[in-house]
Amino acid sequence: MTALFNFQSLLLVIILLVCTSTYIHQMFPAILDRNKDGLMGIFWKCARIGERLSPYVSICCIFMAFSMLVGN
C-alpha cells in the first residue's frame, strides 16, 4: 500500500519531509534560500515550517514513533 492511500503513512512522509528540509537548511542554507520558487520551493517552505513550528513538529514525531510501536 502506498503512502497516498494510507493516512498514517502520508503523515509520516510529510513529517519526515519537514524534518529533513529543516536539517538541510540548517547545514546548507544557501541551497534552499536560492530556490524559493518552483518545485524546490516546497523544500524551502517545509524548512520554514520546521523552523517556526519545531515544538509541534517534534511532538508529532514522538507521537508517530509511539503509534508505530503500538501499531506493530
Q: Please, which pLDDT band fits residue 4 given cuts at 50, 70 and 90?
A: low
Contact 14, 64 (CB under 8 A): no
Give residue-wise pLDDT tens across range 12-49. Answer: 888 889 999 999 999 998 888 888 888 888 999 999 99
Contact 60, 21 (CB under 8 A): no
Give residue-wise pLDDT tens across range 10-21. Answer: 888 888 899 999
pLDDT at 8: 80
Highest mean pLDDT among 3-12, 23-32, 57-66 belongs to 23-32
CA–CA distance, 16 with 37 (Å, rounded to integer): 21
- Tell me how crowded residue 45 is: count the other CB atoms within 10 A of its CB: 14
CA–CA distance, 40 with 36 (Å, rounded to integer): 7
Q: Is this structure's pTM higher than 0.85?
A: no
Residues 6+ apart with CB under 8 A from 51: 22, 25
